[in-house]
Amino acid sequence: MAKLCDVVGLASTSSVFALVGRLVDAGYLERTEGRIAPTRRFFARPLVSTVRAGVPQPVGQDAVELLTIDDYLIDDPNRTVLCRVRGDSMKDAGLLDGDIVTVEKNSATKAGDIVVAIVDDEYTIKTLRLNAQGRYYLQPANTAFADIHPVGSLEIFGVVTGSFRRMRR
């Protein structure tokens, strides 16, 4: 507790105990095995409003909802990894160079899913398609790139479930 006293700028450990107790009661921290740890709520951000991408709307008093990025983008944390997109073969699907995609590994796939695939021992991100002969191939979302019809192996690493990017640093 002495370390926590220094961090929060309090001299009294009883004040820190009281603060921690209030944070536990509010759902921001939890006590586990004699330690305190942040809960998902600790990392949540307020989702304060909807914003039209067309005609402006009146500013309202929308109810605030707490949301974590994990809750929004990730269905199965144990099977989900993040991958950084390199290149522009998927730009027409809204996936740009530098974006981060959430990928659910070992997920059931179907034609039309955007997937991270392994083709001849190399990773790529493309849309999974099925041709008339019942064979899978990979389609980019940029007409400057050709479809990939694997000659050797085609393995689906995972299905892309979401993406995000930084707009400004």
For the annotated catalytic residues, the residue numbers are 89, 126
Torsion of CA 106, 121, 119, 101, to 10 degrees: 50
User: Are the beta carbons of 146 and 126 closer than 8 angstroms?
Assistant: no
Task: Compute the distance between CA of residue 51 and CA of residue 140 in angstroms, rounded to an integer.
Answer: 31
